[in-house]
Structure 1
Amino acid sequence: MTDATRPGEGWADPRWRGAALDWIGDRLGRHGRRMVGPVEPRVRPWSLVWRVPTDSGDVWFKANNPGTRYEAGLSAVLARLAPGRVLDPIAVDAGRGWSLLPDGGRTLRDASGGGGDPLARWERVLPEYADLQRAVAPDAGELLALGVPDHRPQALPELFGALLDDGESLLLGSADGLTVEAYELLRAHRAGFAEDCRRLAGSGVAPTIQHDDLHDGNVFVADGGYRFFDWGDASVAHPFGTLLVTLNSVADALGLAEGDPALARLRDAYLEPWSDGHDPATLREAARLAVRVSRVSRALSWRRALCGPDPARAQYASAVPGWLRELLAPDPL
């Protein structure tokens, strides 16, 4: 059987496709269901997703590339640790990075298109996501053992240094890559980055799952709350790093300028669940530091996502140096 170790080749191999369809059929059969039509594919360098029609509604098959393969096992563990906050997989093959998931319904993006106040909706979403993170925190070690990347503050300085030594990922000298000047500035920033990480590690907030790509397309609107999905960029990290992508995405969607009070409002709504053990000023400073250092987490996530030889990876490759350049920009919070 051909595994998906070569995205763009393995996933297109008829033998791989046949094995995946057999697995889907078998797992559906164990739940008294069967396929009733052809799958509808969506392929990216980091994953293949099929919409699978069945006799009782659509389900979704996902195969991850080697850099994000841990997502399948992570999905199953999160369903156990935070029931009701994530999709409960129908089946998982953690070794192959395969998962079969129920349909989650409308996303937050779909719901926002129907009107209402998107900021008010995010004010409800973010505390629920924070509750998920707090529920998972005691079991962070289990996630690390599963292979979820270690982006805890104490691990990031070494990862940052290794990333700066990866000239291929940085696209040094190319139009989309780091300039020599930016590269030297980043190397000079290593000590400052390590100090930020040291201070963040001392914030007293426990590391936990950090989605690292939480936007309105990765949240389902469910009866009585929200469910969070698409964990392929996730890591074990300081939880507040989630604000980097989330606030950026909200600002882009709503046309908010950097420093808009609405973004601070969302930050504070997210931080509120931690207020039982920390004062607001401490939490806000930790959020500022977490957003800063998580720019390296984003660069690392993109490097994992693009680890295969798929020719389509070239159109995304600028994301790695792009996120590192953000380290040289002012803090948004």
Structure 2
Amino acid sequence: MTTNADGYGPDWSSEQWQLRARSWVEAQLGQTGRRVTGLAEPRVRPWSLVWRVPTDDGPVWFKANNRGTVHEAVLIATLAQLTPERVLTPIAVDPAQGWSLLPDGGESLRDLLARDPDLAHWERALPGYAALQLATAPRADELVSLGVPDHRPEVLAGNFAELLDDRESLLIGAEGGLSPDMHERLRAELPSYAERCRRLADIGIPATVQHDDLHDGNVFAGPEGCRYFDWGDASVAHPFGTLLVTLRSIRYSKELAADDARLVRLRDAYLEAWTDRYDRRTLVEAADLAINLGAVSRSLSWRRALDTAEESRAEYADAVPGWLEELFAASPLQPDTRP
């Protein structure tokens, strides 16, 4: 494998790597009777390379993950087995390489909302995602054994403590990083954070796959129902942690007040899938806790995504400390009282 000089992983710009990846794509497509008809259109981020590959039967999508998000390939293959109606079934995956080849998913929820901004589209999307999580919960331990990161409440406080020791990722005292005072404030928060994790675990809602970046750009909105994609940030975690990014993204894209009834309605549409097992008051408590704890999960996800050469991650480096600071921010469902 061709690697960067600093040893951070595959050098996606090298001719040798690109030739090998293209050969793999062509071979996998050949097994399905398709052939490549043009040049791939690239999109490169520190955490992945994506090619849109034209074929004689429509475009397909090749993705190569960095070592921090390499679990995405095996995860999407597993999800396609467990809940094929909720995700795209990959044409091929190479878990060791972190490569996946997917069919085109059609229109995204973002595109649909641009034409028709009715939040009822989200009300239809969230129950399907909840169903995916419920179907996956019995396989949570297996997913962890396959390399999907473990962010379950039982271990999340320990993950938080370890992250606070990673001074390089937190950029302590540097521009865009944590101030020494904020770093100490976060350390002082550890006992309270651990207690909230214990309370969330004690409620007993089973852990499952948690997308951790479920916004309208990561949902396909086809006529047969929604499909959920781009699982590079995912972990095995409390399911309701999803609501942090989802409600936050809806709130800001629609310029809604935190206490807007539409956000509460969307939360409840998502929680409905668990109402046969838990009363609504318990579900709301669990959702509030999971949202509150979720900033650490996001920070950990960003650290993995930026597990690459320093020059490649510089543009996004403030995301790791920035999400930790969100521990002291308001929930998407609470008014922001910060100065």
Q: Normalised by the shorter chain, which TM-score bucket?
A: over 0.9
Cα deviation, 1:110-150, whole Å, max 9, x if unaligned, reads 11111251x11111111110011001101111111110000
The answer to whether the 8 A contact 1:6-1:310 is kept is: no
Residue 187 of structure 2: aligned partner: 187
Residue 336 of structure 2: aligned partner: none
* TM, length-normalised to structure 1: 0.97
Residues 1:226 and 2:242 are matched in the alignment: no
Runs of 4+ in 1 over 4 A off after TM superposition: 3-9
* TM, length-normalised to structure 2: 0.95
Q: After TM superposition, give the deviation of residue 264 of structure 1 in Å.
A: 1.0
Residues 1:51 and 2:52 are matched in the alignment: yes
The residue type equivalent to 1:110 in the other structure is: D
Residue 214 of structure 1: aligned partner: 214
How many matched pairs?
332
Residue 245 of structure 1: aligned partner: 245
Residue 89 of structure 1: aligned partner: 90
Q: After TM superposition, give the deviation of residue 308 of structure 1 in Å.
A: 0.6
Name the CA shift for 1:9/1:204 in 2 (closer, same or farther; >3 Å): closer
Residues 1:120 and 2:109 are matched in the alignment: no
Residue 301 of structure 2: aligned partner: 301
Instruction: Specify every segment of 5 or more residues in structure 1 that has no aligned partner in the other structure, as ranges.
Output: none
Aligned partners of 2:148, 2:179: CA distance in 1, in Å? 31
Name the CA shift for 1:197/1:264 in 2 (closer, same or farther; >3 Å): same
Name the CA shift for 1:88/1:3 in 2 (closer, same or farther; >3 Å): farther
The answer to whether the 8 A contact 2:8-2:307 is kept is: no
Residue 72 of structure 1: aligned partner: 73
Q: After TM superposition, give the deviation of residue 9 of structure 1 in Å.
A: 6.5
Cα deviation, 1:293-325, whole Å, max 9, x if unaligned, reads 111000000000001105231110101111100
The answer to whether the 8 A contact 1:215-1:249 is kept is: yes
Residue 107 of structure 1: aligned partner: 108
Residue 337 of structure 2: aligned partner: none
Report the identity percentage. Answer: 60
Aligned partners of 1:264, 1:133: CA distance in 2, in Å? 20
Aligned partners of 2:47, 2:320: CA distance in 1, in Å? 14
Residue 62 of structure 2: aligned partner: 61
The answer to whether the 8 A contact 2:73-2:100 is kept is: yes
Match of 2:297, SS?
Answer: helix
Cα deviation, 1:185-222, whole Å, max 9, x if unaligned, reads 10000000000100000112100000000000000012
Name the CA shift for 1:90/1:3 in 2 (closer, same or farther; >3 Å): farther
1:6-17 aligned at under 5 Å gives the runs: 10-17=11-18
1:115-154 aligned at under 5 Å gives the runs: 115-117=116-118, 119-154=119-154
RMSD: 1.4
Residue 174 of structure 1: aligned partner: 174
The residue type equivalent to 1:232 in the other structure is: G
